[in-house]
Amino acid sequence: MTISAIALVGNPNVGKSVLFHRLTGAYVNVSNYPGTTVEVARATARFDATVDLVDTPGVLTLPARSDDERATMRALLHEPLRAVIQVGDAKNLRRTLTLTALLAELGVPAVLALNMHDEAGARGVTVDAQALSSALGIPVVPTVATGGEGIAQLTRSLADARALLPLLHYDTDTEAAITDLASRITQHAPHPRLNARGLAILYLGQDSEVEAWLSEAAGENMANIVSARAAAQAKGVMPAALAHERGEAASTLTSRVTARTEQASPLLAHRIGQLIIHRFWAWPILLGVLFALYEFVGVFGAGTLVGLMENELFGKILNPAVTAFVREHIGVVWVADLLVGEYGLWTMGMTYALALILPIVTTFFIIFGLLEDSGYFARLSVLANRLFKLIGLNGRAVLPMVLGLGCVTMATLTTRILHSPRERLITIFLMALAIPCSAQLGVVLGLLGGISFTATLIWVVSMVGVLMLAGFLAAKLIPGRRIPLVTEMPPIRLPLFGNVAKKTVGRIKWYLIEVIPLFLLGTFIMFLLNQFGALPAIIRAGEPLVSGWLGLPPEASAAFVMGFLRRDFGATGLFALSHQLSAIQAVVGMVTLTLFVPCIASVMMIVKEQGAKVAAAMIAFIIPFAFLIGGLLNHLLRAVWA
């Protein structure tokens, strides 16, 4: 059985991943936010078990410039492609066809799914699919992927996939340069599936993936290809001009096949979209969203649900039952202690993970999913842009930062939506330092909220202050330029229940797989330390720092040991001490722990994304810095707030 592949390619936020789900049954994260797909996903097609369907990140421009565009280009170069399904946004045909013009040059068999044609209709835009199909020479199928409309027809049309008709010819000089390059590529580095002409155009446009592929395939003959490009550039053949000509050709074809009727009044979605970033109304709306977030996650999730799970379900029913069962059936005392003792795998590890953390992350991810799918986050980046300018970032970083409030590990991966390595480095650093994940946030708010509103406020102000200060310094120290924000506003949509539910379940699964082993490991280490009497030694060793400098009770050292595994685990340890903490001690302890190293999982993610060196440097900075800030805060608060 030979496996061949069909790739879904298209501009960002046109519905490739929804279509992927429809065609394979496999779910990948889908959001109303450009750049959700950061890696190529693959699954077996429902309609043919010998075909792998490949979902690629959206491309704004080809030749590839960003990481996700490079990932898509790699898929085109390396996958055993039988065909490509180009997914296009029917209401934005010009951009769709600009990409089509390039796919045509590559000569890969294609069909075009004209997605979201319902949204186009609502805006008075109709596309003549028949006329477009004969102009392109391939099947064109209108679809509404979210509603499953047109999917069967799209699947059938794959049998008729064929190479696209060319959309344009470039000017004489450019054509000569392309022909020359293409013949050299044919001679020295022929591609098994893609036309030399298309590769020549991409190489002229300085696509780094195509360049890498060619130099691998051509070996020492690459010099021959390089010199041809240099000669073309010397004659004034510029990549920007090529892109411009593709845009013009797309524009001409778009006006030929599109009809527009003037809308009497702007759509409700448009009006809401503009209110969200209105110079005045934006702020009450933002406050409303934050309030809803607080009510649902803080009050309902961290309060009501945690109360039910922790006190009622685990405290009164599960834990007594499990404890009785274990004590009765396991004769060896230390084994029983390991399971259900003070530092028991079940009574501490599983109880924390399921009763305390699960309700909080679940409610957080539900709200996050709703905001993502509504189109709110893209607009939030517009609102946050001015603030983020101060820390060398642009508003796009708001999405990973807010997601970090759910799970920093997941958010570290999501920084791939950012366009420059510098932005990614700063964002990852700031999240590792000062963004508490939802589990920790729940514990912090539980402890400090119980003391006073002032205590909570001091914690919030300290964290925001540190975030801004560290960001400001990082932006000054890390070389490179800040990139101003230019971003598309996706349409405001009513989130679909099914999609939000699937996304939430996927994220919770991800989170639990990450969190439970660490909680168990952490509990086990605490158990060992306790069993062998090492805790008192650690407490003594940490005393000068913890009691002297931070002004905390000596037992708080244990919380910092736990904090090495997960910050929230440490915070929970501090929570257990809360009856012996003063307000100042609670605030200082929580601020230090929040800044303190992020959990092991997120450190590993930083290693994966940025390398071990960068991760080590971050940790080497963060640990002393956390104690420095904690100590300063301790002395400041004692002077002014006692």
Partner 1 sequence: MSTHDHNARVPLAFLLPGARARVDALDDAIDPTQREQIIAYGLAPGRPVIVLQQHPMTLVMIDEVELALEDSVARLVWVIRK
- Considering only 277, 478, 538, 623, the residue that binds partner 1 (CB under 8 A) is 277
The verdict on 100 binding partner 1 (CB under 8 A) reads no
Q: What gap in Å lies between CA 354 and CA 576, rounded to an integer? A: 17
- Considering only 228, 253, 485, 591, the residue that binds partner 1 (CB under 8 A) is 485
- Considering only 95, 188, 416, 503, the residue that binds partner 1 (CB under 8 A) is 95
Closest to partner 1 by CB, 7 vs 62, is 62
- Considering only 481, 532, 579, 642, the residue that binds partner 1 (CB under 8 A) is 481
> Is residue 455 classed as helix, strand or coil in its secondary structure?
helix
Q: What gap in Å lies between CA 139 and CA 113, rounded to an integer? A: 8
Binding to partner 1, residues 281-310 (CB under 8 A)? 282
> Is residue 29 classed as helix, strand or coil in its secondary structure?
coil
Q: What gap in Å lies between CA 563 and CA 557, rounded to an integer? A: 10
- Considering only 17, 36, 98, 414, the residue that binds partner 1 (CB under 8 A) is 98
The verdict on 386 binding partner 1 (CB under 8 A) reads yes
> Is residue 212 classed as helix, strand or coil in its secondary structure?
helix
Task: Report whether the peptide linkage leading into residue 484 is cis, meaning its omega lies within 30 degrees of zero.
Answer: no
Binding to partner 1, residues 114-153 (CB under 8 A)? 120, 123, 125
Closest to partner 1 by CB, 380 vs 574, is 380
- Considering only 1, 159, 234, 240, the residue that binds partner 1 (CB under 8 A) is 240
Count Cβ atoms below 10 Å from residue 344 Cβ, excluding itself.
23
The verdict on 428 binding partner 1 (CB under 8 A) reads no
- Considering only 479, 484, 533, 624, the residue that binds partner 1 (CB under 8 A) is 484
Binding to partner 1, residues 324-363 (CB under 8 A)? none
Count of alpha carbons within 13 Å of 557, Cβ hemisphere only? 19
Contact region with partner 1 (CB under 8 A), list: 93-101, 106-114, 285-293, 405-413:
93-101
Identity at 7, one-letter amino acid code: A
Closest to partner 1 by CB, 478 vs 520, is 478
Tokens 């510029």, located at residue: 238
Strands (E) located in 600-639: none
Look at residues 609, 633, 607, 632 and name the one whose alpha carbon lies nearest to residue 619. 607
Look at residues 471, 301, 470, 323 and name the one whose alpha carbon lies nearest to residue 384. 471
Contact region with partner 1 (CB under 8 A), list: 92-100, 160-168, 592-600, 626-634:
92-100
Contacts of 55 (CB under 8 A, 6+ apart): 8, 16, 17, 20, 28, 37, 40, 41, 42
Contact call for residues 591 and 632 (beta carbons, < 8 A):
no
Look at residues 636, 548, 555, 554 and name the one whose alpha carbon lies nearest to residue 591. 636
The verdict on 488 binding partner 1 (CB under 8 A) reads yes
The tokens describing 268, both together, are: 């409700």
Contact region with partner 1 (CB under 8 A), list: 295-303, 377-385, 568-576, 630-638:
377-385
Roughly how many angstroms between the first and final C-alpha of the chain, as a whole number?
Answer: 76
Count Cβ atoms below 10 Å from residue 499 Cβ, excluding itself.
20
Angle between helix 172-188 and helix 196-204 axes, rounded to 10 deg: 120
Closest to partner 1 by CB, 93 vs 529, is 93
Contact call for residues 232 and 177 (beta carbons, < 8 A):
yes
Contact region with partner 1 (CB under 8 A), list: 87-95, 219-227, 541-549, 576-584:
87-95
Closest to partner 1 by CB, 381 vs 409, is 381
Strands (E) located in 526-605: none
Closest to partner 1 by CB, 256 vs 278, is 278
Count of alpha carbons within 13 Å of 539, Cβ hemisphere only? 14
CB of residue 267 vs partner 1: minimum separation in angstroms?
A: 10
CB of residue 251 vs partner 1: minimum separation in angstroms?
A: 8
The tokens describing 571, both together, are: 């915070």
Contact region with partner 1 (CB under 8 A), list: 14-22, 139-147, 229-237, 239-247:
239-247
Contact region with partner 1 (CB under 8 A), list: 158-166, 286-294, 306-314, 380-388:
380-388
DSSP string, 320-334: HHHHHHHHHH---HH
Contact region with partner 1 (CB under 8 A), list: 174-182, 186-194, 273-281, 294-302:
273-281
- Considering only 273, 392, 442, 563, the residue that binds partner 1 (CB under 8 A) is 273
Q: What gap in Å lies between CA 182 and CA 295, rounded to an integer? A: 62
Count Cβ atoms below 10 Å from residue 305 Cβ, excluding itself.
18
Instruction: Using CB under 8 A, count the residues that bind partner 1.
Output: 35
Tokens 């490509």, located at residue: 84
The tokens describing 64, both together, are: 């590839």
The verdict on 238 binding partner 1 (CB under 8 A) reads no
- Considering only 46, 74, 94, 193, the residue that binds partner 1 (CB under 8 A) is 94
CB of residue 143 vs partner 1: minimum separation in angstroms?
A: 17
Identity at 117, one-letter amino acid code: H
Q: What gap in Å lies between CA 362 and CA 406, rounded to an integer? A: 9
The verdict on 210 binding partner 1 (CB under 8 A) reads no
Look at residues 484, 521, 471, 377 and name the one whose alpha carbon lies nearest to residue 36. 377
Contact region with partner 1 (CB under 8 A), list: 57-65, 153-161, 464-472, 577-585:
57-65
The verdict on 271 binding partner 1 (CB under 8 A) reads no
CB of residue 495 vs partner 1: minimum separation in angstroms?
A: 19
Q: What gap in Å lies between CA 64 and CA 276, rounded to an integer? A: 32
Contact region with partner 1 (CB under 8 A), list: 193-201, 236-244, 407-415, 516-524:
236-244
Contact call for residues 180 and 229 (beta carbons, < 8 A):
no
Contact region with partner 1 (CB under 8 A), list: 89-97, 320-328, 548-556, 571-579:
89-97
Closest to partner 1 by CB, 248 vs 295, is 248
CB of residue 103 vs partner 1: minimum separation in angstroms?
A: 15
Binding mask 243-262 for partner 1 (x = CB under 8 A): xx--x---x-----------
The verdict on 489 binding partner 1 (CB under 8 A) reads yes
Closest to partner 1 by CB, 64 vs 605, is 64
Q: Which residues bind partner 1 (CB under 8 A)?
A: 60-61, 65, 91-92, 94-95, 98, 120, 123, 125, 240, 243-244, 247, 251, 273-274, 277-279, 282, 382-383, 385-386, 394, 481, 483-489
